């Protein structure tokens, strides 16, 4: 078979094909990038005091969103910062979704690949290098993923390295009232687990079942309330269940729903919190 030498095009210096053209091509067919089954949610999305987000994509199942910044030529500091800034704005505005920052550039240099790699694992970040190829019928685009998101291990899954503390530690770190709220959360767990107790560590208060750590849910008492983490797969059904109870979802992180509870919210939503923890326990066990 005859070999054909491909002719690549530098979009940054091209007289007709510009960033707007590339943006429109991706918007018309989001699948070409390689993000999976995604749909276009918005284009040139206005960010409060921060410019415009080039493209916002969303998983077809509605769970994940991708904040995409496009750059012709080589990556530079401003575009990387802008990509992370837009991701941060969107995740704060819509915490019910999983958000991923995406940068697309013609040339992702090794220098900046090293820089953005430092963020990965803490900021879900993907980088694609796009190559424009001239053909007889027009111009084709090839997207190469050069950086993928890294999922860190689940929170304190390795119990051998978790520093054990006691109740007094948390009484000093938080308040007697918020630690008592954790006691109440444990009472909810006792409704569906016969042998469950609290497990005090330096970073959270988890559960132990039959004297073994079982972190289907974690509590972090603070001065003004409790941050409750419940390990559940992200779904529209669970999102709706939490939203309908008007609970304060902080975000979804490392496989866990993060919910902030006041004393009143815990009292008013005992049934829904118990249902969510029970579902998390049954899935884990």
**Which CATH number does the domain housing residue 271 bear?**
3.90.1150
Question: What is the reported pLDDT for 197?
Answer: 95
Q: How far apart are CA 273 and CA 285, in angstroms?
A: 18
Q: Are residues 11 and 143 in the same domain?
A: yes
Query: Is residue 2, in this structure, part of any structural domain at all?
Result: no
Q: How far apart are CA 122 and CA 127, in angstroms?
A: 15
- Residue 208 is part of which domain span? 159-284
Q: Are residues 112 and 207 in the same domain?
A: no
Query: Is residue 207, in this structure, part of any structural domain at all?
Result: yes
Q: Are residues 104 and 220 in the same domain?
A: no
Question: What is the reported pLDDT for 279?
Answer: 94
Question: What is the reported pLDDT for 150?
Answer: 56
Q: Are residues 163 and 93 in the same domain?
A: no
Provide φ and ψ at 208, rounded to 5°: -130, 135
Question: What is the reported pLDDT for 207?
Answer: 94
Entry pTM: 0.55
The enclosing H or E element of 7 equals strand 7-9
Q: Are residues 139 and 11 in the same domain?
A: yes
Q: Are residues 125 and 29 in the same domain?
A: yes
Q: Are residues 200 and 250 in the same domain?
A: yes
Question: What is the reported pLDDT for 126?
Answer: 87
Q: Which residues of the chain have pLDDT under 50?
A: 151-161
Question: What is the reported pLDDT for 61?
Answer: 64
Q: Are residues 192 and 224 in the same domain?
A: yes
Beta bridge mates, 126: 102
Query: Is residue 249, in this structure, part of any structural domain at all?
Result: yes
Question: What is the reported pLDDT for 262?
Answer: 92
Q: How far apart are CA 109 and CA 113, in angstroms?
A: 6
Q: How many angstroms from the chain centroid is the CA of residue 226?
A: 21
Q: Are residues 164 and 141 in the same domain?
A: no
Question: What is the reported pLDDT for 155?
Answer: 45
The widest CA-to-CA distance across the chain, in whole angstroms, is 78
Q: What long-range pairs does 161-166 form, CB within 8 A, spacing at least 24?
A: 162/201, 162/202, 162/203, 162/213, 163/201, 163/202, 163/203, 164/200, 164/201, 164/202, 165/200, 165/201, 165/202, 166/200
Single residue among 117, 147, 177 that ends a domain in this structure: 147
Domain CATH number, residue 113: 3.40.1350.10
Query: Is residue 153, in this structure, part of any structural domain at all?
Result: no
Per-residue pLDDT tens digits for 235-280: 888 888 888 888 888 777 778 888 989 999 999 999 999 999 999 9
Q: How far apart are CA 125 and CA 129, in angstroms?
A: 14
The number of domains in the chain is 2
Q: Are residues 120 and 164 in the same domain?
A: no
Q: Are residues 71 and 120 in the same domain?
A: yes
Query: Is residue 154, in this structure, part of any structural domain at all?
Result: no
Beta bridge mates, 74: 107
Query: Is residue 152, in this structure, part of any structural domain at all?
Result: no
Question: What is the reported pLDDT for 46?
Answer: 87
Q: Are residues 194 and 215 in the same domain?
A: yes
């Amino acid at each position: 078979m005859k070999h054909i030498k491909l002719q690549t095009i530098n979009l940054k210096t091209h007289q007709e094909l510009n960033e707007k053209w590339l943006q429109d091509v991706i918007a018309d067919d989001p699948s070409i990038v390689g993000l999976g089954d995604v749909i276009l949610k918005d284009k040139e999305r206005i960010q409060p005091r921060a410019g415009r987000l080039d493209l916002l994509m969303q998983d077809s199942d509605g769970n994940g969103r991708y904040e995409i910044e496009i750059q012709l030529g080589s990556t530079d500091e401003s575009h990387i910062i802008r990509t992370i800034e837009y991701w941060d704005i969107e995740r704060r505005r819509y915490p019910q979704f999983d958000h991923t920052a995406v940068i697309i550039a013609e040339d992702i240099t090794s220098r900046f690949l090293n820089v953005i790699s430092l963020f990965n694992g803490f900021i879900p970040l993907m980088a694609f290098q796009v190559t424009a190829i001239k053909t007889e019928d027009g111009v084709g685009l090839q997207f190469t993923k050069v950086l993928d998101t890294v999922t860190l291990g689940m929170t304190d899954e390795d119990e051998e390295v978790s520093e054990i503390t006691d109740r007094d530690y948390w009484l000093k770190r938080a308040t007697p009232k918020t630690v008592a709220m954790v006691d109440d959360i444990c009472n909810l767990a006792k409704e569906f687990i016969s042998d469950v107790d609290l497990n005090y560590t330096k970073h959270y208060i988890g559960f132990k079942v039959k004297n073994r750590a079982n972190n289907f849910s974690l509590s972090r008492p603070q001065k003004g309330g409790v941050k409750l983490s419940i390990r559940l797969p992200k779904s529209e059904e669970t999102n709706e269940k939490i939203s309908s109870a008007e609970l304060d979802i902080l975000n979804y992180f490392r496989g866990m729903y993060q919910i902030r509870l006041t004393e009143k919210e815990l009292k008013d939503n005992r049934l829904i919190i118990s249902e969510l923890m029970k579902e998390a326990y049954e899935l884990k066990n």
